[in-house]
Amino acid sequence: MIFYQLIDSETSTYTYLLADELTKEAIIIDTVLENVDRDLKLISEMGLNLKYILDTHLHADHITGSGEIRKKTGAKTAISSEALVPCVDHALKEGDEIKFGKYSLKAIATPGHTNSCMSFLIDKMIFTGDVLLIHGTGRTDFQQGDPKKMYESIKDKIFTLPNETKIYPAHDYKGFTYTTVELEKKFNPRIGNNRTLAEFTEIMNNLKLAQPKKIDIAVPANKLCGLST
């Protein structure tokens, strides 16, 4: 499988490009509007046929490039049905599969950061959006955030995958690129090492984080697939 992990330096957002090496059918996950030209150039240089543009959730820290890429490629957009985005081509439900070439990406509902959070599983790789980060988790203090839902999403869905499953989050702020289920179960300071729901909730309710700088712009724009009109 062709695989690229791309970074937006301003928001520390990861964008992932996956493609079938034979058919050249491709998908892209969590695009950033400012990087659309970069992403399209890479897709063109690789000779890929982009089939789907996926978002793991309704982002609050950046504007998605999904609508713009759809306009330029004809690829279909997809996000959880819980995001309530009327312009999206595919409103995903738990268990839906996105196919490209011989590969299939499975949608897994993982709410907690937002109601619309969805992780994508392929082989022994999972793209967890903002629900589970590398030695961290997404926050739960806005946009339907809920510590109990997040705890259940991570413990009952992600942590039940094989230990060697690689975790690729939507962000990292310390220079890491991926982790594994085994590492997060052991060392994640918020939810690893068999923390209880009560302990996790106490941690999440006392993070005292600043609001994302672009939240007032990003959320309304992302409900329009990142397009102003």
Local confidence band at 35 (pLDDT 50, 70, 90 cut-offs): very high
How far apart, in whole angstroms, are the C-alpha atoms of residue 45 and residue 62? 26
Quick one: average pLDDT of 83-92?
97
**190-227 per-position pLDDT tens digit:** 999 999 999 999 999 999 888 888 889 999 999 999 99
The per-residue pLDDT for 103 is 98
What is the rounded distance in angstroms from the CA atom of residue 78 to the CA atom of residue 81? Answer: 9
Residue 218 located in a structural domain: yes
Specify whether the CB–CB gap between 170 and 130 falls below 8 A: yes
Q: What is the pLDDT of residue 197?
A: 98
What's residue 229's pLDDT? 54
Q: How far apart are CA 175 and CA 67, in angstroms?
A: 29
H/E run at residue 44: helix 36-45
CATH of the domain at 81: 3.60.15.10
Taking residues 80-103, what's their average pLDDT?
97
Domain assignment present for residue 227? The answer is: no
Checking if the pLDDT of 143 tops 90, the result is: no
β partners of residue 168? 127
Rounded Cα distance, 158 and 19, in Å: 23
Q: Which domain, by its residues, includes 108? A: 2-222
- Write out pLDDT tens, residues 98-142: 999 999 999 999 999 999 999 999 999 999 999 999 999 999 998
* Domain assignment present for 146: yes
**Model pLDDT, residue 212:** 85
Q: Is residue 229 part of a domain?
A: no
Give the model's confidence band at 165: pLDDT under 50 very low, under 70 low, under 90 confident, else very high.
very high
Task: Quote the CA–CA distance of 192 and 68 in Å, as a whole number.
Answer: 38
Tokens of 221: 């724009």
**Do the domain assignments include residue 228?**
no
Q: Is 63 domain-assigned?
A: yes
Asked whether residue 135 is domain-assigned, the answer is yes
- Domain count across the chain: 1
- For the chain, the average pLDDT equals 96
